[in-house]
């Protein structure tokens, strides 16, 4: 009877270990990290040669954007062509108004095998709410 209990425990431990490893691997497989405003700003400032992309519309971009941001509207039919101009080996920082379109853009960047993509949680709305710098053209 004791041998059966030990065998069952071994199987349960192995099953638990397998589940934990699957979760760990699936978390690691994503190239995208969604960062809150302060961490996004800190990571951006500490990254050599970051690629900062505003994925909103031209009108939204003109109303105010992060310093150094390049406009690449995720809903534009040419978005795939635009992102091909980026360096896949350098981190890409993306944002939109509230974080939904930038997460969509991050998914596209992952499909194109970009190594590191950082999404601004809450978008430019959260950025402004924290009193961070926004510039207008």
pLDDT reported for residue 1:
62
Residue appearing with tokens 């150094």: 68
In order along its 137 residues, the chain shows pLDDT tens digits of 666 655 545 554 554 444 434 444 444 457 899 999 999 999 999 999 999 999 999 999 999 999 999 999 999 999 999 999 999 999 999 999 999 999 999 999 999 999 999 999 999 999 999 999 999 97
For the question of residue 96 being annotated catalytic, the response is yes
Residue appearing with tokens 């109303």: 63
CATH number for domain 32-129, candidates 3.40.250.10, 3.40.640.10, 3.40.190.10, 3.30.420.40 = 3.40.250.10
Which tokens hold the place of 104?
A: 């969509």
- Characterize 78-91 residue by residue with b for buried, 16 or more Cβ atoms within 10 angstroms of its Cβ, and e for exposed: ebeebbeebeeeeb
Q: Report pTM.
A: 0.78
Question: Per the residue annotation, which of 96, 106, 116, 117 is the catalytic one?
Answer: 96
């Amino acid at each position: 009877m004791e041998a059966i209990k030990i065998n069952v425990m071994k199987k349960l431990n192995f099953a638990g270990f397998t589940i934990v490893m699957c979760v760990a691997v699936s978390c690691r497989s994503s190239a995208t990290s969604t960062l809150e405003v302060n961490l996004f700003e800190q990571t951006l400032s500490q990254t050599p040669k970051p690629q900062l992309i505003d994925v909103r519309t031209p009108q939204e971009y003109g109303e105010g954007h992060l310093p150094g941001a390049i406009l690449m509207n995720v809903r534009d039919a040419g978005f795939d062509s635009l992102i091909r101009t980026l360096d896949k080996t350098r981190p890409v920082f993306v944002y939109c108004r509230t974080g939904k379109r930038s997460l969509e853009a991050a998914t596209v960047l992952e499909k194109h095998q970009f190594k590191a993509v950082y999404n601004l949680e809450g978008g430019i709305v959260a950025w402004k709410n924290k009193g961070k710098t926004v510039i207008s053209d």
